Structure 1
Amino acid sequence: MLWLLLLQVWVSCLWLGHGEVVNSFASCPQFFYSNTPPDAAIKPQNPAWICQTLKGERFFATLYDKDRRIPMYSAYKYEPARFSTNHTWTVEPQLIRSNLPKEMQTVQTLERQYNISKAEIMQSQAVNADYEKSGWDRGHLNPNGHHDTPDSRNVTYTLTNIVPMNATLNRKAWRNYEQQTMANKSKDCQTTYVIVGAVPGNSSLPNGRVNVPSHIWSGACCKTKNNTMSAWAAIARNDQNQVDELTLGQLEKRLAKLYGMKKVPLFHSSCP
Structure 2
Amino acid sequence: MLLVLLLAGLAWQNVPGHGEVVTSFKDACPQFFFRETPPSIGLEPPCPARICQRYKNQYRFATLYDRDNRIPVYSAYIYNPGTAKRPSTWTVEPQLIDLTFQPDMETEWTFLQKHSAHEEALEGSQAVLRDYKNLSGFNRGHLNPNSHQPDLDAKSSTFTLTNIVPQHINLNGGAWNNYEQSTMASKTEGCKETFAVVGAVPGNNFIAKGRVNKPSHVWSAACCVIDNNHLRSWAIIARNDENVVLTLTLGELERKLAELYNRNDIFLFDSDCPRE
Residue number in structure 1 paired with 2:212: 210
Say whether the 8 Å CA contact 1:16–1:99 is kept in structure 2: no
- Percent same amino acid at aligned positions? 52
1:18 aligns with 2:18: yes
Larger radius of gyration: 1
Deviates more, 1:39-48 or 1:216-225: 216-225
Q: Deviations over 1:1-50 (max 9, x none)?
A: xxxxxxxxxxxxxx995310111102000000000000000000000000
Once the two structures are TM-superposed, the CA of residue 108 in structure 1 deviates from its matched residue by 1.1
Residue number in structure 1 paired with 2:6: none
Once the two structures are TM-superposed, the CA of residue 222 in structure 1 deviates from its matched residue by 1.1
1:163 aligns with 2:169: no
Residue number in structure 1 paired with 2:110: 109
Once the two structures are TM-superposed, the CA of residue 226 in structure 1 deviates from its matched residue by 7.6
Deviates more, 1:220-229 or 1:129-138: 220-229
CA distance 1:55–1:83, change in 2 (3 Å)? closer
Once the two structures are TM-superposed, the CA of residue 206 in structure 1 deviates from its matched residue by 4.0
CA distance 1:206–1:87, change in 2 (3 Å)? closer
Residue number in structure 2 paired with 1:230: 232
Gaps of 5+ in 1: 1-14
State TM-score, norm by structure 1. 0.92
Q: What CA distance in whole angstroms lies between the structure 2 residues aligned with 1:160 and 1:116?
A: 22
Residue number in structure 2 paired with 1:93: 94
Residue number in structure 2 paired with 1:187: 189
CA distance 1:127–1:232, change in 2 (3 Å)? same
Say whether the 8 Å CA contact 2:222–2:233 is kept in structure 1: yes
Once the two structures are TM-superposed, the CA of residue 85 in structure 1 deviates from its matched residue by 3.5
1:270 aligns with 2:272: yes
RMSD: 1.4
Q: What CA distance in whole angstroms lies between the structure 1 residues aligned with 2:17 and 2:32?
A: 19
Once the two structures are TM-superposed, the CA of residue 225 in structure 1 deviates from its matched residue by 4.8
Say whether the 8 Å CA contact 2:82–2:147 is kept in structure 1: yes
Q: How is 1:1-272 mapped onto 2 (pairs within 5 angstroms)? A: 18-25=18-25, 26-135=27-136, 136-225=138-227, 227-272=229-274
The number of residue pairs the alignment matches comes to 258
Say whether the 8 Å CA contact 1:188–1:225 is kept in structure 2: no
CA distance 1:63–1:187, change in 2 (3 Å)? same
SS in 1 for 2:192: strand
State TM-score, norm by structure 2. 0.91
Say whether the 8 Å CA contact 2:79–2:193 is kept in structure 1: yes
Residue number in structure 2 paired with 1:11: none
Gaps of 5+ in 2: 1-14
Deviates more, 1:77-86 or 1:163-172: 77-86
Once the two structures are TM-superposed, the CA of residue 83 in structure 1 deviates from its matched residue by 3.2
Q: What CA distance in whole angstroms lies between the structure 2 residues aligned with 1:28 and 1:16?
A: 12
